[in-house]
A and B are shown apart, each in its own frame.
Chain A
Amino acid sequence: MEFLGLFNYWVVIVLMMIGFYIVICSNNLIKKLIGLTIFQTSVFIMYISMGKITGGTAPVLADGITLYSNPLTHVLILTAIVVGIATTALGLAIVVRIHESYGTVEEDDIHAKDKQA
């Protein structure tokens, strides 16, 4: 694989792992959700990179163009983006409720309050 490809995929993997790290490591629930978004968005970047053809164009049929990048990955990721925002919205709704009933959105505070109860 030539340099750009390797560079592309490896850095995308680094991005995914940064997102994953935020999810596991962060104590704040909202930041966890943001980490989840970063993780997912990086997976989308991986998918879209897989469908690219060097010198290709966007898959809207036009006369005189023969080389199109893969439209199927685009469709899959469109769906996945929608799934992602749906998850984020639901997660935030839960966070709002957690804040109302626990008075905090920090994981260890929630654990502490659960232990007291």
Chain B
Amino acid sequence: MIVHLSVLQVIIPLIAAPICLLLRKSELAWAFATLVAFMTLAVSVALLSQVMQSGPVSYELGGWEAPWGIEYRVDMLNAPLLVLISAISALALLASRTSIENEIPENRHTFFYIAWLLCMAGLLGITATGDAFNVFVFLEISSLATYTLIALGKDRRALWASFQYLVAGTIGATFILIGIGLMYVMTGTLNMADLAQRLPDVENTKTVFTAFAFLIVGVCMKLALFPLHLWLPNAYTFAPSIVTTFLAATATKVAVYVMIRFIFDVFGFEFSFTHFPLQEVLLTLGIAGIFVASVVAIYQDNLKRMLAYSSVAQVGYIMLGISFASQTGIMATLLHMLNHGLMKGALFLALAAVVYRMGIAQLSQMHGIASRMPLTMAAFLIGGLSLIGVPLTVGFISKWYLVSAALENGWWPVAAAILLGSLLSVVYIWRVIEVAYFKPVSESTPDVKEAPAALLIPMWILVLANLYFGIETSLTVGVSQMAAADLFGGLR
């Protein structure tokens, strides 16, 4: 079974989804989906340890060797991401049954769990595959499932958000399709490793240049790089809270992964940074994204929307790491992808608990809420500190490496910009802390109890992960360092 790990972690949720439909009863579907998610988690953890011990894993689907068949390829770059996706998915599913009670009509629950499993399988498939066209197919599985999950939100604006995302996402995917087609016409292959070998012969052509441009723009649409982020705030705000938790922690990370894979492995460092003004573009848009989105976040009353803008800002940091074009920079990016998944997971789960009790997460109605929901708000506090980058949290670790990568390049202003961006996040997190902890309970504060255990347990697991990986960094930093070294010494 050990040789099949890479494919198992995708097909387990993929095959489980139709089985869920056969189960029909929503309680059964939930129990089964959660079980499946934990099985997937176990598989991906085993896969990570396998990759750490014996190097990259390649799996020939259908028994056809690449480039004729489709290959799964798992190495230090994507193995940790697979663990993150399945871990967040499993924890969020644990909380989902409680969380969607008030947010989604009862008769749609079974479909909700099916769509969730499909979305998860799609994300895992994009991450594991070594075939460019297969990326597109699994991208569409996860996208269609995501549109469904978002549209299940209670507010009618969820429908509009879902439609906007559908249009933006499909344009992005079609751009990616054009990029893949242009690469294919120049090389005759779709396998990533084979592309990496054959592209250098034709890299001075206008066609490859255009292919790269379309791929990057298409992926940036998916990962919501400023200014292509317009679909994201609405989608995160109006989606069911538990869906936001899952998407915010995983979906954009997967798009970032695809981008890194294409920039560094398929096209190669040389091409991406010399033939193409990638550095300038990512640096400018990254910094602009950090500032614009952080400032907008400060003025939001709806906390889900506030964190959504914060996510756009965080994508900015992640892009900065790539733009440094150095090993430390890319390592900081990879680390921040994992760490940001942990913090946003914890933060949005805390909001899911707030929404569960209050029906809405408006700051103006949360005066003194910390006395009513102490555990939830404590989780929000720690998650917020992590987002700011306070020592002893994961946020500190990734900011630390980002700043040192900037300094390594001698880019003082960029390092200053990172710190300034953190100050902005202090402002928007502090607003919440102030209202929740220091404002007296007023009449507008609803009389609510602490969130149920089903939400608190997964939330606190993530909070503790934020602290644990903030202190004991050897695993996350080690993995990111190895992956960054692979990217720079790797295929070429």
Interface residues of A (CB under 8 A from B): 16, 20, 23, 29, 32, 36, 39-40, 43, 46-47, 50, 72-73, 76, 79-80, 83, 86-87, 90-91, 94-95, 97-98, 101-102, 110, 114, 117
Is A114's CB under 8 angstroms from B157's CB? yes
- Closest B residue to A83 by beta carbon equals B140
Quote the shortest CB–CB distance from A21 to chain B (angstroms).
12
> Hey, which chain A residues are within 8 Å of B170, CB to CB?
36, 40, 87
> Hey, which chain A residues are within 8 Å of B160, CB to CB?
98, 102, 110, 114
- Closest B residue to A99 by beta carbon equals B159
- Closest A residue to B234 by beta carbon equals A114
Quote the shortest CB–CB distance from B474 to chain A (angstroms).
42
Is A46's CB under 8 angstroms from B156's CB? no
> Hey, which chain A residues are within 8 Å of B178, CB to CB?
16, 43, 46
Stretch of B32-40, B144-152, B259-267, B420-428 lying at the A interface: B144-152
Stretch of B7-15, B161-169, B340-348, B364-372 lying at the A interface: B161-169
Interface size of B by CB at 8 A reads 25
Quote the shortest CB–CB distance from A30 to chain B (angstroms).
11
Bound form: Cα–Cα A90–B156 in Å: 17
* Extra contacts besides A32-B167, A47-B181 (16): CB < 8 Å: A16-B178, A46-B178, A46-B181, A72-B190, A80-B136, A83-B140, A86-B140, A87-B170, A90-B144, A90-B166, A94-B151, A94-B162, A98-B159, A98-B160, A101-B159, A117-B157
Bound form: Cα–Cα A31–B405 in Å: 48
> Hey, which chain A residues are within 8 Å of B184, CB to CB?
50, 73
The 0/1 profile, CB within 8 Å of A marked 1, for residues 193-224 of chain B is 00000000000000000000000000000000
> Hey, which chain B residues are within 8 Å of A102, CB to CB?
156, 160
Is A95's CB under 8 angstroms from B156's CB? no
Quote the shortest CB–CB distance from A19 to chain B (angstroms).
9
Bound form: Cα–Cα A110–B147 in Å: 18
Is B159's CB under 8 angstroms from A94's CB? yes
Contacts known (A29-B163, A98-B160, A101-B159); A87 close to B133, Cβ less than 8 A: no
> Hey, which chain B residues are within 8 Å of A47, CB to CB?
181
Quote the shortest CB–CB distance from B145 to chain A (angstroms).
10
Bound form: Cα–Cα A114–B164 in Å: 14
> Hey, which chain B residues are within 8 Å of A43, CB to CB?
174, 177-178, 181
The 0/1 profile, CB within 8 Å of A marked 1, for residues 24-68 of chain B is 000000000000000000000000000000000000000000000
> Hey, which chain B residues are within 8 Å of A80, CB to CB?
136, 177
The answer to whether B185 has its CB under 8 Å from any CB of chain A is yes
- Closest B residue to A70 by beta carbon equals B188
The answer to whether B137 has its CB under 8 Å from any CB of chain A is yes
- Closest A residue to B143 by beta carbon equals A87
Quote the shortest CB–CB distance from A84 to chain B (angstroms).
9
Is A90's CB under 8 angstroms from B148's CB? yes
Is B148's CB under 8 angstroms from A83's CB? no
Bound form: Cα–Cα A50–B163 in Å: 32
> Hey, which chain A residues are within 8 Å of B147, CB to CB?
90, 94
